[in-house]
């Protein structure tokens, strides 16, 4: 979201928008998406907090603005001399598959036409994860419609998180640690306020809030 909003802000207001403009954007954001409201006095301190005295402004919007300005300054100075390590492209290493590619293709075809039983969907999605990751990265980046047309069961609750935990086993636990403390309570409060909370709060599995 920040990657969309900040370029729009720069396009409309230039590289150094005023504090008033940034406050306006942050305020509009939490009014449009109340679940992003935080516990600061303004309600949007996580997104933008005006600097005071010798303290710099903070927040996701401000940090993104700084990063874009740094990138623009670097590009204006021209390309830097290429070092040896720069010539080696960075790659995401996909873990070794546990089944043959032929078997993974069979699983993918079955999953296109079946959404039940869930245990079978879960198992086939897990076993074909590496094949799916390779297909998505092959040749060129695929669009979301292309990916979902090929792998429609990715929309089944828990499947994206399962893929992430297989492909990035070490940082996977951080996904839960980072998002649950920040947004779980806000999501529950919003669902309760809109009458969409179907379970007692004590029965809610916070892990599923992240996955969904």
Residue 46 has pLDDT above 50, yes or no: yes
pLDDT for 206 beyond 70: no
How do the domains of the chain map onto residue ranges?
2-73, 101-167, 175-211
Phi first, then psi, for residue 49 (nearest 5°) are -130, 120
Q: Report the residue count for the chain.
A: 212
Q: Containing H/E element for 147? A: helix 144-150
pLDDT score of 212 = 39
Task: Report whether 107 contacts 145 (CB < 8 A).
Answer: no
pLDDT at 43: 87
How much is the pTM? 0.43
pLDDT of 114-151, one tens digit each? 999 999 999 999 999 999 988 888 867 678 888 899 99
Quick one: which of 111, 114, 158 has its CA closest to 132? 111
Kindly report the average pLDDT of the chain as a whole number: 79
Answer whether residue 86 shows pLDDT above 80.
no
């Amino acid at each position: 979201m920040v990657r969309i909003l900040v370029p729009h802000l720069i396009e409309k207001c230039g590289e150094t928008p005023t504090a008033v403009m940034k406050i306006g954007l942050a305020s509009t954001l939490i009014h449009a998406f109340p679940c992003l409201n935080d516990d600061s006095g303004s309600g949007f301190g996580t997104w933008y907090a005006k600097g005071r005295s010798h303290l710099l402004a903070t927040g996701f919007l401000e940090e993104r603005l700084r990063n874009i300005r740094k990138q623009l300054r670097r590009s204006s100075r021209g390309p830097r001399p290429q070092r040896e390590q720069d010539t080696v492209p960075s790659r995401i290493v996909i873990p070794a598959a546990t089944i043959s590619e032929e078997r993974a293709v069979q699983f993918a075809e079955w999953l296109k036409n079946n959404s039940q039983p869930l245990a079978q969907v879960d198992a086939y999605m897990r076993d074909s994860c590496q094949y799916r990751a390779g297909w998505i990265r092959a040749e060129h980046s695929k669009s979301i419609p292309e990916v979902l047309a090929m792998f429609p069961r990715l929309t089944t609750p828990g499947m994206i998180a399962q893929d992430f935990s297989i492909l990035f086993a070490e940082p996977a636990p951080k996904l839960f640690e980072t998002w649950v403390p920040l947004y779980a309570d806000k999501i529950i409060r919003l669902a309760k306020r809109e009458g969409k909370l179907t379970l007692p709060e004590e029965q809610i599995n916070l892990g599923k809030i992240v996955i969904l």
